[in-house]
Structure 1
Amino acid sequence: MMPDSPPTPRHVFVYGTLRAGGSNDIARFSPAPQRIADGVIAGTLYDLGAYPGAVLGGEGRVQGEIYRITPALEAQLDVLEEVRSDDCGEYIKREVEVRVAGAALCCLVYEIHPDRIAGRSAIASGDWFRRD
């Protein structure tokens, strides 16, 4: 019998308070993630007050950071983002392809539930840290 191999690393694209220096900086979680690169995805970023929400797709661009994470950290992020199995939580966990140094990297991204953006303003820059 072969020994259990470690789980395949997953990647997450973070665009709001989980970014380095944000109020929920992903580096404060354990086990600590490994920052891979900065990135951009297609989407629209909305200002929800203390945090943003991204709606994927379209012509807009959302700025963020890519981290390698463990399943244990992914589970913590699911709780923070209020992901629910029936997709009625605050965020819905999706997978997107992000180009990094010419290669495609599959990343988790937490997309805001569409019901949460009614009456909210889009952030034209697509960058939570530059939302003026």
Structure 2
Amino acid sequence: MMHDDSPRPVAATLVFVYGTLRAGGSNDIRRYRPSARLVGSGWIAGTLYHLGGYPGVLLGGPGRVYGEVWQIDQEVEEQLDRLEDVRPDDDGEYRRRTVSVDVGGQELQCTVYEIHPSRAQGRAIIASGDWMAG
């Protein structure tokens, strides 16, 4: 039996970003280290809300939200959890969820940061579903 001493790949996560973390956004995911790798873009089911300088999505329903899928490692995921105020009791500003994203005909399971429902109440909906399109 051969013994493989090659380094094991670091566990990677796919994350769907739809707001300021998108390329060119104020929190552009490309600024985090180690570097994220763009996988593609696609749409998820949800409603996009305007929360001032950033958006929040509530998952499900008839609406669609556009975003990018990035491959990140655990270190970056922890940085994003802090940025998005994810808390173990699910009562932070955002909650980490898993969504299925169609990227070029392939269904990918991705982490997404869903806004806490109480923070979307009374906020304007972004009808296009695309934060950068307005």
TM category (shorter chain) comes to: over 0.9
Q: Scaled by the length of structure 1, what TM-score is found?
A: 0.94
Distance (Å, rounded) in 2 between the aligned partners of 1:26 and 1:63: 16
Equivalent of 1:34, from 26, 37, 47? 37
Structure 2 partner of 1:54: 57
Aligned length: 131
CA distance in 1, matches of 2:114, 2:122: 17
Match of 1:13 in 2: 16
CA distance in 2, matches of 1:2, 1:71: 24
Q: Find the counterpart in structure 2 of residue 76 from structure 1.
A: 79
TM-score by length of 2: 0.93
Counterpart of 2:10 in structure 1: which amino acid? P
1:67 aligns with 2:70: yes
Give the whole-Å Cα distance in 2 for the aligned partners of 1:127 and 1:102. 20
Q: Give the RMSD, CA atoms, in angstroms.
A: 1.3
Q: Hey, what's the Cα distance between the residues in 1 that align with 2:118 and 2:110?
A: 24
Q: SS of the counterpart of 2:125?
A: coil
Question: Which amino acid in 2 is paired with 1:113?
Answer: H
Question: Secondary structure, in 3 states, of the residue corresponding to 2:15?
Answer: strand
Matching residue's letter, 1:92: R
Q: 2:126 matched to which residue of 1?
A: 123
Fraction of identical pairs, as percent: 56
* Structure 1 residue ranges (4+ consecutive) displaced by more than 2 angstroms after TM superposition: 1-8
Q: Secondary structure at the match of 2:124?
A: coil
